[in-house]
Structure 1
Amino acid sequence: MKTFHCQFCGHPIFFENVQCLQCGSALAFLPDRLNMSAIEEVPDGGEGLWRPRMRGRKVSGARYRLCHNHTTQNACNFAVPARDPNELCVSCRLTRVLPDLSVPENPLRWYRLEAAKRRMFYTLAKLGLVSTDPPAGSADGPIFEFLADLPGQPVMTGHAQGVITLNVAEADDAERVRRREEMHEPYRTLLGHLRHESGHFYWDRLVDEGGRVESFRQVFGDERLDYQKALQDHYARGGTVPDWQDSFVSQYATAHPWEDWAETWAHYLHMVDLLETAASYNTRLRIPGQEQEVEEVVNPLETGRPDFDTLVDQWVPLTLLVNSLNRSLGQEDAYPFALSAGALDKLRYVHDVIGETYSRVPAKDAQAQKNKDGSEAEAVGR
């Protein structure tokens, strides 16, 4: 994710912040602008209305309310356009079932789940895969149910018919590490879970409904293979397939073509998010094989649509850098994967499907949106 700055004082701020530590301004993420903003209450504008806080005497005509989950639970920092009748922001309204918040551990678990979901929402929105301003308070994207185990009723994380279910126990670091080690996984995070399960949702939307099933089968295999039996076979053999690295991004991807797609989809979201973060810090890389040339990392979510080869050329040295930084702090590799040519072919397919299906808002339209109130001469945030 890119870095943000308080447009009132210029101090760096982060995606989860609710107050600028430099100037004290309240902060909110404005989904319709995909940007963080300092905000101030609208004087004599009615209770609960906020506007972007501008430098000097500039006054923004945009009006927002804070998400209901912020005002009642302090669990969200997204704003809602004043004309939107929904009390919840575009991310929170996607959650259909919450864990029992009377259980002492669950409020923190829920907060962590929603924070990860907002990060995923941002990336999907930048790719044009979800609407940031759906009409009449509606929602766009997968529906989420965050559930806890009950006696005799364990909750299985997964996707079915547009609904993503996640066991809230995954929000506990110790429990997630225990499950990762038990399943011999090199990587297990809340954000990774959500990205993987969103891949199943977008298989339905982009591949099945998008008329790409035949091309999918040429790359990933025949999804008509019995899914439940395939998973049973996968776990029966301990998740191990000889030479799986030659064609798959992970061992779990070998279980079934649907899981192969979902794992590949998650890795693609990892890729574009990390590249955007690196680009926002003006990171420059020395590309292997081009020792005399230093190349600035491109932002795949804002600088047009870089070709896939450019993304990969920068992704490889960037992950080496990130892993080296982690090791210098005594941490495990942040990205413990090595992508083979076969895995990269599948990532290229995901890249092409997204590019063929959705186009980004043209620059002139984005500028018009930014200044749509007619009085705001400065972009909200950076």
Structure 2
Amino acid sequence: MLTFYCQCGNVLHFPNSQCVKCDSILGFLPNAQKLCAFTKTDEDSWLSAFDGKYYRPCKNYVEHQVCNWMIELHDSNQLCLSCRLTETIPNLNDSNNIKLWFSLEQAKRRLLYTVIKLKLPIKSRSEDINNGLGFAFLQDQVEDSFGNELTIKEYVVTGHSNGLITINLNEADAATRAEMREKMNENYRTLIGHFRHESGHYYWDRLIDRTAHITEFRNLFGDERLSYQNEMQNYYQNGPVQNWQDQYISAYASMHPWEDWAETWAHYLHMVDTLETANNFGVGIADNTIYNPLEYEIQQSESDIESGFTRLFNDWCTLTRVLNALNRSMGMDDAYPFVISVSALNKLRFIHNIVNHFNNTSSD
């Protein structure tokens, strides 16, 4: 993730909607990938300091302050590229849900920022009924029981189905998420992690299913035609496969080839976003500036793709060793509690190749 600069020279961060130095209103331009200052000429027409063009703020920016993305004037949508993907929002009669909704939308925008940088397809389900992407933010249904205590009537399961990603609203609550992290024995459970993981299921449908890549996918990840229900039941009854660290990026990845892909996909997005952040801050280790894999054009030749992945992975190993050492010096848990096996590395390389292959073929 990049930092940006206001017209006054102040550093801006991705979620910002106002400059704390000059009080300028801010907006993010998704197509240009720029956060910049705006001059409000009227409610529906803001002048950008970046390109001198006029834009409209997203409806959710104006009415609910849960968004800071802008819309081009010729676009008839009231919602920005990100917000129009959200098909179901939380119940806003509960005032606490506004805060949780903001967190969900912010995590989604971070996901989309990386997806846009990788030049992957993004369309809503209303724009593309067969291949579109949508989000539903739902909360568990509760009811009064004996003694006026609240009990869960219906759980919301975070997951993906036919392009719709459902996120349980509780995942936006830090305390609840920490409790689930301990209960599920997941030493890395974050809101952005959920979005990246579930997007992996969506992009498996788009990039792998019924394509020429399916054979290589099965050679690396296994046969996705295995009964998902059976594999899930086995996982929750018996735990991950023995010595899962030798083949998978996480214990959960060992449940089924679909989950292996989604966990590896999420990990790849973690890597490229974190490396871009480090590069943006000028981080260098042993006279080597950390590589930004999102800064350069998609590689064309196989040798360029391979060398790009090699540098990405080498810089990732260097950076995470430093991050873990710094955390240990502060008496904190490792920032990066993973060891990447050769098998997991080959799966990450496959995803890197798939992203580059998609861009090379889609631009032909």
Q: Which of these residues, 59, 72, 81, is aligned with residue 90 of structure 1?
A: 81
**Does the 8 Å CA contact 2:124/2:132 hold for their aligned counterparts?**
no
Q: How does 1:255-266 map to 2 (within 5 A)?
A: 255-266=255-266
Q: Equivalent residue of 2:154, what SS?
A: coil
Q: After the TM superposition, which segments of 4 or more aligned residues of structure 1 sit over 4 Å from their partners?
A: 131-141, 359-362
Amino acid at match of 1:130: P
Which range is displaced more, 297-306 or 244-253?
297-306
Q: How does 1:41-52 map to 2 (within 5 A)?
A: 41-42=40-41, 47-52=43-48
Q: Distance in 2 between matches of 1:145 and 1:41?
A: 32
Aligned to 2:231: 230
Aligned to 1:205: 206
Change (3 A) 1:359 1:17: farther
Q: How does 1:1-382 map to 2 (within 5 A)?
A: 1-6=1-6, 8-42=7-41, 47-53=43-49, 60-131=51-122, 142-151=133-142, 152-237=153-238, 239-286=239-286, 294-305=287-298, 307-359=308-360
Q: Alignment identity in percent? A: 46
Give 1:19 deviation, angstroms. 1.1
Aligned residues: 345
Amino acid at match of 2:157: M
Amino acid at match of 1:250: S
Provide structure 1 residue ranges, at least 5 long, that are not aligned to the other structure.
55-59, 287-293, 363-382
**Does the 8 Å CA contact 2:123/2:133 hold for their aligned counterparts?**
no
Change (3 A) 1:63 1:335: same
For each residue in 1:39-68, what CA deviation from the matched residue of structure 2 results, as whole angstroms up to 9, or x when unmatched? 1123xxx542011126xxxxx541101110
Which has the bigger relative contact order, CA under 8 A and spacing at least 6? 1
**Does the 8 Å CA contact 2:58/2:67 hold for their aligned counterparts?**
yes
Amino acid at match of 1:246: D
- TM-score, length-normalised on structure 2? 0.89
Give 1:32 deviation, angstroms. 1.5
Q: Distance in 1 between matches of 2:243 and 2:88?
A: 41
Give 1:233 deviation, angstroms. 0.2
**Does the 8 Å CA contact 1:247/1:341 hold for their aligned counterparts?**
yes
**Does the 8 Å CA contact 1:113/1:171 hold for their aligned counterparts?**
yes
Amino acid at match of 1:232: Q
**Does the 8 Å CA contact 1:17/1:27 hold for their aligned counterparts?**
yes
- TM-score, length-normalised on structure 1? 0.85
Q: Distance in 2 between matches of 1:23 and 1:130?
A: 36
Q: Distance in 2 between matches of 1:232 and 1:317?
A: 38
Amino acid at match of 2:49: R
Q: Equivalent residue of 2:203, what SS?
A: helix
Amino acid at match of 1:206: L
Change (3 A) 1:270 1:243: same
**Does the 8 Å CA contact 2:84/2:124 hold for their aligned counterparts?**
no
Q: Distance in 2 between matches of 1:281 and 1:11?
A: 15
Provide structure 2 residue ranges, at least 5 long, that are not aligned to the other structure.
143-152, 299-306
Give 1:333 deviation, angstroms. 2.1
Give 1:356 deviation, angstroms. 0.1
Q: Distance in 2 between matches of 1:168 and 1:111?
A: 11
For each residue in 1:174-223, what CA deviation from the matched residue of structure 2 results, as whole angstroms up to 9, or x when unmatched? 11111111111110000000000000000000001433211110110100
